[in-house]
Structure formats: structure tokens, C-alpha cells
Amino acid sequence: MKTIPLLSLSFLLFTFTTSARPDPVFDIYVADVIQQYFETFDSLPLTFSPSIQRRGEVHISNDLNIKVSAKTSCAQSTVWKLAKQSNGMWFVTTGGVEGNPGFETITNWFKIEKYGSDYKLAFCPNVVDAPVLCKDLGIHVDEDGKRHLALGDEIPALTVMFKRAKTLQTVVILISKRSIPPSIDNFRSEIGMDETSSLSKISLKLQKP
């Protein structure tokens, strides 16, 4: 399978919302949400699109489509979905369907959840009235050392934070810590490119069918 390296992955959130009223998702400045993965300063923005849109907010625990919103070399859809692997794990892949919540698109829906003082990404869709798989997204390292965004019984949740983007091209940073989520002060220090031992950087690769 071909992988799509996202050495600097940013999650760009356009203004959407859902019908439910849980807590809204904030960046570190309590504003619109952007999430970025950081290793270099080249990035691919991703759009978060809730299943029901209203009022210009995104809330935790609501179903979302996630789509690469920049131009890519992929001929197929760049919407995220889950694909089951031969080892029983589930990898995040591209080729999903945007919108149309239901059984046919159930693997295309993800969530942002509060995780201590930070956030995590999860899969636990409510778009159907039936039992579903519910797990956090984390990083699985395969035998070749490639890191995949995946679900699995022994994969810890990937801790994320959000920073507001001023434009579509703005590069923002998603920081992940191996155990305890980083503090706001450490996060700001990392954005300023200061060295800080409490933060870690990882390479993320998304699996493409």
C-alpha cells in the first residue's frame, strides 16, 4: 500500500457546528480551531465538517468528517475513513465520503474529545442507531518504522492541541507528548521554536488504499 507522508500536518477548521450543545472546541487563544502536526513547515490543511452544521462552532463529541483541503496527487477523495488491516487493526486512510451520515459512511466519522487540559481524536460514530467500535486514535509504528494514525487495543490516545490560523496557508502546530499532555506555556514555547524537553515530535503517515 502507498502511504501519504504528512510531515507537517495541519488541521484547518472552517466554521461549522452541530445540533448538540456540548462544550465547543477551543484553540489556545479560545478562538476558531486549527490543529497541526509539526516536523517541517510544509503542511496539508484538513477541514473538519460536522454531520450537522449550525452557528459557526465545532463542539466536542460530535461526529465530523476530516478532509485534506489542499491540492494533492490523490485521484480519489481525500476524506478520512477507517480501513481494517490484515492484522485486525484499523488504519486511517483516504477515499472516504463527505456527508451523507448513515451505515454506508459509518467509517468516515470521527470526533474531537476533551483529554485533560487538551484534546484527542476518537472514532465512535453516532450517525447510526447501532453498536459501533469506539476507540481513540493514536500512532501505530509498523515493522518498517512507519507511523500510522490508527485504532487498536494497545495504542495510546494521541494528545493534541489547537492553534488558530489566520489564513488557509498559515502553518500551525500540533504537539504530542508521550505521556502527560504539555502545558500551555510549553506549547507556546514550542511555537516560538524554543527547545523544550517536555514535548516530543513524531512523523505521521496516513495509509492510502
Whole-number Å distance between alpha carbons of 169 and 166: 8
- Angle, CA 136 vertex, CA 8 and CA 113 arms, to 5°: 85
> How many Å is the Cα radius of gyration of the chain?
16
User: What is the C-alpha to C-alpha distance for residues 120 and 118, in angstroms, rounded to an integer?
Assistant: 7
- Asked if 182 contacts 189 with a C-beta cutoff of 8 angstroms, the reply is no
Strand-pairing partners, residue 119, are: 114, 160
For β-strands 9-12 and 44-50, DSSP reports them as: parallel
Give all domains of the chain, ordered by start, each with its CATH number. 1-209 (2.80.10.50)
pLDDT tens for each residue of the chain, 209 residues long: 444 433 333 343 333 333 345 565 554 433 222 234 444 344 556 677 888 776 667 788 889 998 877 666 666 788 888 888 888 888 888 888 888 888 899 999 999 898 888 889 999 998 888 888 899 998 888 888 887 888 878 888 988 776 555 444 333 334 444 333 334 344 333 333 333 323 333 333 333 33
- Contacts of range 86-90, beta carbons closer than 8 Å, 24 or more positions apart: 89/140, 89/150, 89/151, 89/152, 90/123, 90/133, 90/135, 90/150, 90/151, 90/152
Cα torsion at 168, 202, 122, 96 (round to 10°)? 60
Q: Distances from the Cα of 12 to the Cαs of 38, 126, 131, in angstroms?
A: 14, 23, 30
Instruction: Give, in degrees to the nearest 5, the angle at Cα 63 between 56 and 53.
Output: 30
For 70, the 3-state DSSP assignment is coil
Burial class (CB in 10 A: 0-12, 13-18, 19+), 121: buried
